[in-house]
Amino acid sequence: MKVFSDQSRPVPNGPAVRALVAGSVGNFIEWYEFGVYGYFATVIAARFFTPEGAGTAEGLVRTYASFALAFFFRPVGAALFGRLGDRVGRRPVLILVIALMTGATTLIGVLPTYATVGALAPWLLTFLRVLQGLSAGGEFGGAVALLTEFAPPGRRGLYGAWQSFTVALGLLGGAGVAALLATVLDAGQLADWGWRLAFLLTLPMGLGALWLRLRLDETPSFRSERVGQVAVPAREVCAAIALGAGRVMGWAAAGYTFLVVLPSYLQSTLDASFQQALLATVLANVGFAVTILPAGLLSDRVGRRPVMLAGAVLVVALSVPLLNLLQDDGTSNSVKGAWVFGAGAVVGLMAGPGPAMLSEMFPTSVRYTGLGLAYALSNAVFSGCAGLIITESVGRTGNVDIPAYYAAAACAVSVLALAVTKTPPGTASWEETDADAGDRADVRDVVRRDRRGGGRPGPRR
């Protein structure tokens, strides 16, 4: 299968580094907010989704339902902003989505609660979550396109991995803020107004990200594509989207199970304290962060597929033993912490090469839309629904191993999708065993063009 690598010429280091920072910062804010929402799920459930007399579990399920709804609007945002980004450019659309995301998240920090405005409160919160879902859907595809199209030859895996690395940083940032607030405030203050501070911090971060993106240039690939855009058959794009979604399904499900849903699971199912749950989440996210960039760099050398396959297979094998260990009161906290750290590290093996792999599955003319939809669809179902499915299933069945089964089943599907080495009929999945082959061809194209005095090669099919 071919790799779509359509950079017209090597990018100078200055613009590439600016693109790396500006492309990553929006993702940091997005995942900081989604992490904060997950970490404060029990508080938000009590303030917005639990009328007087209602049960705590019922409010938590409603909170996760709102969480899931935002994810289901991600594909809508990916299609809407992706199509716009493939037509008018990556830069203006990324500016728009960071402004929308910042505004919606900041407003959550000032929303009235159920005790103040009654049933209107959950509807207002859900509306802002929908706006966040739309903006998040437009963020990923554009940021990955920006990073990989500015990446130097032979470094698409590493540059794309920064998008995943800022997921870890955002979740860690959210966990750090939540832990700090839980430490300096008592339980009453945290539930009353302290949780709002975590959302209001998005405003200065968002303004900084907006300033960085206003200083960006358009990507070389997009500027070149305007010269002679090549149409791509819709059925090929749809087939590539479906295959891409299958390949990142395990990353989506395991990532949210171990990195976001874990705190509420530990509190509601294993009776852990808020501080213990946050500590476990921090360890998992540190493990996640540690492996992402090395995994992306390794994929530039050996290919995307083998690195991602290793991560998916390990999740299938280790999910149930990990959860059983956490449930065992006789296991020391240090051993539990090491296993939680390892669970995050395994997810990082999938997250590191993932963005570059998706980018390489689509040519410039549909890249923003295609990779954004593949990622958003898998996340809408397997990330957004993770908390809802796990909480509801554990409550109905009493089986505390549900999170492990959920992550392992999704990763098993990804193993099958990643194992596909031949292109199915009508599928536009263009990946080579050696991920650098496309980059080396790019360098040869540049040399030949320079000798001829210019000219632009079309995308390789």
- Mind listing the pLDDT tens digit for each residue in 283-295? 888 999 999 999 9
Locate 229 and state its tokens.
Answer: 């855009």
Q: How far apart are CA 151 and CA 334, in angstroms?
A: 40
The domains located in the chain, with CATH, are 13-217+233-448 (1.20.1250.20)
pLDDT per residue as tens digits for the range 339-390: 889 999 999 999 999 999 999 999 888 999 999 999 999 988 887 777 778 8
Nearest of 24, 1, 34, 7 to residue 380 by alpha carbon: 34
Q: What is the DSSP string of 14-74?
A: HHHHHHHHHHHHHHHHHHHHHHHHHHTHHHHHHHHS--TT--HHHHHHHHHHHHHHHHHTH
Average pLDDT, the chain: 82
Choice between 21 and 435, residue whose per-residue pLDDT is larger:
21
Residues in the chain: 461
In this predicted structure, the answer to whether residue 85 has a pLDDT above a threshold of 80 is yes
pLDDT of residue 221: 85
Residue 267 binned pLDDT confidence (cut-offs 50, 70, 90): confident
| Mean pLDDT (whole number) for 183-201 | 91
In this predicted structure, the answer to whether residue 439 has a pLDDT above a threshold of 70 is no
In this predicted structure, the answer to whether residue 54 has a pLDDT above a threshold of 70 is no
Phi-psi region of 229 (alpha: psi -120 to 50; beta: other; left: phi over 0): beta
Choice between 39 and 177, residue whose per-residue pLDDT is larger:
177
Enter the DSSP assignment of 423: P
In this predicted structure, the answer to whether residue 173 has a pLDDT above a threshold of 80 is yes
In this predicted structure, the answer to whether residue 320 has a pLDDT above a threshold of 60 is yes
| Confidence (pTM) | 0.81
pLDDT per residue as tens digits for the range 92-102: 999 999 999 99
CB-CB contact of 198 with 177 (8 Å)? yes
